[in-house]
Amino acid sequence: MEIIPAIDIRGGRCVRLEQGDYDRETVFAEDPVEMARRWQDQGATRIHVVDLDGARDGTPRNADVVHRAIAAVSVPVQVGGGNRSIETVDAYLKAGADRVALGTAAVKDQTTLVNAVALFRERIFVGVDARDGMVATEGWTETSEMRALDLIQELSEFGVARIFYTDISRDGMLGGPNFPVIQEVVEHAAGLSSPMAVIASGGVSTVEHLQRLKMIGVEGVIIGKALYTGALDLREAILAVS
């Protein structure tokens, strides 16, 4: 199971939000590029970078910082936030991103989703962000009328190979993941005609959380606040699930 540090960028700085609330922001570093180097130095084999302004506004707002973060490290970087066109996806991949995440576009613009999967295959993955089991969009500021499990089935039918699942109520709270829901998501994704890998996100704060998620069968875990506050040490986390 891969441990994936998160770098969330807002206004050019490295921040964390609580439950996706833009009014509940904590700044952890002024330079996301230096943070990317720090996580690589501590053993990260992959880094998850999100343009929070882009997620909310629907178009990249911190692309220059993201590009510099990608260039600063040798490990794979996956990029999310505001990726709602083929041009945006292509630009990040050409800049060296290993994977590009679609979120809102996967719900509201299936043409872009289908075209992205056809063009870029497994370098596309999709963020399934849920609030009370319903899919959230627009940087988590809107809740749709689609169930997360229904979206996961649709994504499989469109050829998506990998998703990352976030329970918004747990994100940034350090209270632990929603294990029953994550298990349901993993089993659902594995049982589809075109099975998908699942990366978990939200609430992880202990080694025990990681070990339990490994038993559930997730491919990886994205960790943010727990690393920034020191609740988890990245090296210890990696060792615990190796």
Q: Which residues are catalytic?
A: 8, 129
User: In residues, how long is the chain?
Assistant: 242
Measuring CA to CA, which residue among 179, 220, 230 is closest to residue 196?
A: 220
Buried b or exposed e, range 41-67, using 16+ CB within 10 angstroms: eeebebbbbbbbbbbbebebbbbebbb
What's the angle, vertex CA 78, arms to CA 61 and CA 44, rounded to 5?
120
Measuring CA to CA, which residue among 3, 27, 23, 17 is closest to residue 172?
A: 17
Residue 74's Cβ-count burial label (10 Å; 0-12, 13-18, 19+) is: exposed
Beta strands 47-51 and 2-10, pairing class: parallel
